[in-house]
Amino acid sequence: MFLARHLVLLACWSLVGACAGRPMADDVSVTWTADPAPPVAGARTVATVTLRDAARQPVRGVRLEIEVHMSHPGMAPILAAADEQPDGVYRVRFQFTMAGDWIVLVKGTLPDGRTLNQRIDVANVRPAG
């Protein structure tokens, strides 16, 4: 059931970009780090998202949003905008509201109109204290 729900979520996520009529930015790589690592529930998390093209060059000017979901249903998602830093680096600040496993969806629109959709699994967010 857990795997099936996540596969459905991923399939729907992929269709969002396709239905929008915009091509996907399949040549853009996404790397993610969080501070603190591992994250702590209720504490401010500063995530760094780095975007690189196929030639490993920074991808700049992306309107990037982060959508964070608990791995089980019933929780409202956390939505956060990312601030662009130099060299294809984007920072986003938010708080995980509970300990456990989370799904981070990185969504963006590149200056050329292509879309970016990346799923990142964040396991074992620690309880506060």
What is the predicted pLDDT for the residue at 15?
Answer: 43
What is the predicted pLDDT for the residue at 75?
Answer: 86
Owning domain of residue 14:
2-125
Mean predicted lDDT score pLDDT of the chain: 87
CATH at 52: 2.60.40.10
DSSP H helices, the chain, are 2-19
Other beta carbons within 10 Å of 68: 22
Could you report the per-residue pLDDT of 51-79, keeping only the tens digit for each? 999 999 999 999 999 999 999 888 899 99
The answer to whether the CB of 51 falls within 8 A of the CB of 59 is yes
What is the predicted pLDDT for the residue at 72?
Answer: 85
Q: Domain tally for the chain?
A: 1
Could you report the per-residue pLDDT of 87-113, keeping only the tens digit for each? 999 999 999 999 999 999 999 999 999
The answer to whether the CB of 93 falls within 8 A of the CB of 54 is no
Picking from 46, 49, 41, the residue whose alpha carbon sits closest to that of residue 101 is 41
